[in-house]
A and B are shown apart, each in its own frame.
Chain A
Amino acid sequence: MKLNDRLIGILAILGGIAIISGTFGFREIPGQQFGSAFFPRIIGVVAMLAGLVQIFTANGGPAVTIPAELRGRGVFVAAAVLIGIVLWILLAPLLGFLLITPLLIFTLAMIMGGRALPALAVSIGVTVLFYLIFSSLLRVPLPRGMIEGWLL
C-alpha cells in the first residue's frame, strides 16, 4: 500500500503534534530544566519540520496506490499471515503451544500452495524441534494446553 508523498508529510506532522501533546501530562521535577518531556518534544518538533519539507518537495499523485500484487492472491496470503499471528496470540494460552503451532504452520503452508502430506510432516516436525530447543533445552515456559497436559 503506497501512500502519496504529501500524505506522508501530513502524517508526520500529525505524529509530531500527537507526540508533543502526549508530553503535557508529564510530571516536571522542580528546578530541573530538562525533564521527561524535553526529548520527546524535540522529536515532535523535528517530525513537524521534516513533514513540512516533505510536503513542499514531494510529487503529487493519488492519495493511496494499491500495487498490483496486493490486488490478487497476495493480499489474501498476507492477511492470512497477520490473522495467523493474532490467532496464535489469542489461542496459544488456551490450546497450548503443541496444538496451535502445527495448526498455524499447516494452514499457512496450505494457503501458500503447499501439498497436504508434506505440509503436515513439516508442521509436526518443526513444532517438535522448536519444542525440544526452547522448552527442553532453553527452559522457556511455552504456553501449556491439552497436549502438554497429556504428555507431561
Chain B
Amino acid sequence: MTVLFEALSLVFTLQVMGTILTASILGIIIGAIPGLTAVMGVALLVPITFFMDPVPAIAAIAALAATAIFAGDIPGALMRIPGTPASAAYVDDAHAMVKQGRPERALGLSMMAACFGGVMGVLLLMVAAPMLARFATNFSSVEYFWLALLGLSCAAIVSQGSAVKGVFSLLFGLWVASIGIDEVAGQPRFTFGSIELMGGVSFIPAMIGMFAVTEILRNATKPRAVPETPRFGPVFKGLGQNMAKRWRNLLRGGAIGSLVGALPGAGADIAAWVSYAVAKRNSATPEAFGKGHDEGIVEAGASNNAALSAAWVPTLVFGIPGDSITAIVIGVLYLKGLEPGPIIFIKTPELVYAIFIAFLIANLLLIPLGWAVIRTSRHLLRIPASYFQPIILASCIIGSFAINNTVFGVGIMLVFGLVGWLFEENGIPVAPAILGIVLGNMLEFNFVTSMLKSQGDILIFVQRPVAVGLCLAVMALWLYPAFKWWRGRRLA
C-alpha cells in the first residue's frame, strides 16, 4: 500500500500531470493529421524525454501513444486513410458511417471503445505484470535468450506480408546492433574506421530515421488533396445506449487486445485485425461488416488500445518489447539507467506503479480530449502538408542532433530514413529491424553467457522446464510459415 501512495505522489505533481496533458494533446493532434502515426509521434518525443526524469518521460510516451492511436481513427473515418496502421481494420465501417451522415457516431463509438479498451489493458498490466515479474526472478540467461528470440521471431513472422521479408528486416536490425565495440571481448565490429561508431549506432537517431523520415519521404511522394469534411452532430447524443448495446464486443475486444498485446512482438495493429475478424464471426449480421456497421468499430477499437497498454507487460517484465512503441520505450529505459526486467519491480516498484497510473490517466483523458479533437478535426485535416512536413523534418533533425550533440546523429537519421523508405517500398516491414536493434545485444549476451556457463554444451538451452516451453514456442513459430506454404501447395 505504501508503494501505491509513493507512486501516487510521484504522478500527482504539477510537472508530471502537465507533461501527461501536453503529451496527450500532442498525441491527439499527431494522430488526427493523416500521414502522422503514433510511432512517429513517439519517435519525435523521445529526444525531449531524454532530458526528463524517468516517470514524466515514460508517462509522456504512454500518454502520447494512447491518444494518437485513437486519433488515428479520425482521418480513417473522414478520409478512409487510417491515421495509424492500427485503425486500418475497421476503416471501411467508419468511413461508410461518415458517408451515411453520422460522423459523430463513428468517432464517438471509437473514442469510447478506445478508452474502455485502454483501461482494460492497463488493468491487465497492473495485475499480470507484478505476478509475472515474481515468476521471472527465477529466470536465467537461458530463459532470457529464448524470450528475446521469441519476441524477435514473433515480430518477423507474424508481421503482415511475407515472413522471409520480415526475417530480412530482423537480420538487418541484429547486424546494426552488433556495430560498435563488442561488450564481451572489447573488439570493434563493423565500425568502418569511424570513432563515432565505436559506441554503436545511436538508437534514437536510427529510430527517428526509420519511423519519421521514412514517413516524410512517403508523404512527399504521395501528395493528398485537402478533404471535404462533413458536419458533426452532438458527439455524446445516444452514445451511452449504443455502447451498452455492444457491451459484449467491448469486453471481448478488450480481452483479445490485451492478450495479443501481451505477446512479445505482436502489437496493436495485429490485435485490431484479429478482433475485427472475431467480431465478424460472432455477429448475427456478418454481412453488414464493412458497410458502416458498429460492432467491428467497437470491438477492434477497444482491442487496439488494450493491446497498446498490454504490450508493456513483456516490456517491463522481461525487457522484450511487444511492439515498435515499446521497443522505443526499452531504448529510453536503458538511457535512463533503468534496465527493464523483474528487478525494477523489486528495486523500484513505486516507479512501475507510477507508470501504470500515468497510463490510466492518459486513457481517461481520451474522453475530454477525444471530444475536443472530434469537434476541431475539420480544421486539423485542412492544415496543408506543405507547412507541417518541413516542421516535422526540422524536429527530426534537432532530435537526432540533441542526443549526442553531434551532426553525426543527423547523418545516422538520414541513412536509416533511406533504408526504412526502401524497406517500405519493397514490402519489408520496419518493426522487426527496430526490435532487432533493441534486442540484438541482449540475445547475443545471453547466448554467450549461457554457453560459457555450460562450457560449450548446447543442451543447456533445453535443460529447464520454462526454457523447453519457450523453445517449443519459438520452433512452432518458425515452422508455421513452412507448414502454410506446404499446405498451400498441396491444396493447389
Contact = CB atoms under 8 A, between A and B. Distances in A.
A87 B444 CA distance: 38
A15 B175 CA distance: 10
A123 B485 contact: no
A14 interface: no
A69 B221 CA distance: 6
Given A29-B185, A134-B398, A89 B414 contact: yes
Contacts of B417: 85
B426 interface: yes
A26 B187 contact: yes
B398 A85 contact: no
Contacts of A29: 185
Given A69-B221, A74-B222, A113-B386, A2 B175 contact: no
Contact of B220 (A35, A39, A92, A112): A112
Contacts of B112: none
B221 A75 contact: yes
A25 to B, nearest CB: 9
B51 interface: yes
Contact of B397 (A12, A43, A53, A88): A88
A34 B390 contact: no
B220 A36 contact: no
A8 B165 CA distance: 9
A105 B189 CA distance: 37
A78 B422 contact: no
Given A36-B187, A57-B485, A69-B222, A126 B385 contact: no
A39 B178 contact: yes
B221 A78 contact: yes
* Interface of A (DSSP majority class): helix
A27 B213 CA distance: 37
Contact of B171 (A50, A88, A141): A50
Given A81-B393, A104-B394, A74 B221 contact: yes
A140 B401 contact: yes
Interface string B267-278: 000000000000
Nearest to A88: B397
Contacts of B398: 101, 130, 134, 140, 142
A40 B179 CA distance: 10
Contacts of A34: 447-448, 451-452
Nearest to B389: A112
A70 interface: yes
A70 B393 contact: no
Given A34-B452, A88-B397, A50 B407 contact: no
Interface residues of B, number: 56
Nearest to B216: A81
A33 interface: yes
A86 interface: yes
Interface in A90-115: 92-93, 101, 104-106, 108-109, 112-114
Nearest to A79: B220
Nearest to A104: B394
A2 B165 CA distance: 14
Contacts of A112: 220, 385-386, 389-390
A46 B456 CA distance: 21
Given A74-B221, A89-B411, A141-B405, A84 B425 contact: no
A19 interface: yes
Nearest to B391: A126
Most chain A beta carbons < 10 A, residue from B217, B413, B428: B217
Interface in B394-421: 394-395, 397-398, 401-402, 405, 407, 410-411, 413-414, 417-418
B28 interface: no
Contacts of B410: 85, 88-89
Interface in B15-55: 48, 51
A134 B398 CA distance: 8
A75 B418 CA distance: 13
Contacts of A78: 217, 220-221
B217 A114 contact: no
A26 B220 contact: no
Interface in A19-53: 19, 22-23, 26-27, 29, 32-36, 38-40, 43, 46-47, 50, 53
A39 B386 contact: no
B279 to A, nearest CB: 33
A3 interface: yes
A41 B165 CA distance: 20
A113 B225 CA distance: 12
Interface in B420-451: 422, 425-426, 428, 444, 447-448, 451
Contacts of A104: 390, 393-394, 397
B168 to A, nearest CB: 6
A17 interface: no
Nearest to B187: A36
Interface of B: 48, 51, 164-165, 167-168, 171, 174-175, 178, 182, 184-185, 187, 189-190, 213, 216-217, 220-223, 384-387, 389-391, 393-395, 397-398, 401-402, 405, 407, 410-411, 413-414, 417-418, 422, 425-426, 428, 444, 447-448, 451-452, 456, 485
Q: Which 10 A-B pairs have the closest CB atoms?
A: A74-B221, A112-B386, A114-B386, A108-B390, A36-B187, A36-B182, A77-B220, A105-B390, A140-B402, A39-B444
5 contacts: A35-B185, A50-B168, A69-B222, A109-B390, A126-B391
Given A34-B448, A50-B168, 20 more contacts: A8-B165, A19-B175, A34-B452, A36-B184, A36-B185, A39-B174, A47-B168, A74-B221, A88-B407, A93-B407, A101-B397, A109-B386, A109-B387, A109-B390, A113-B223, A119-B387, A123-B390, A126-B391, A130-B394, A138-B51
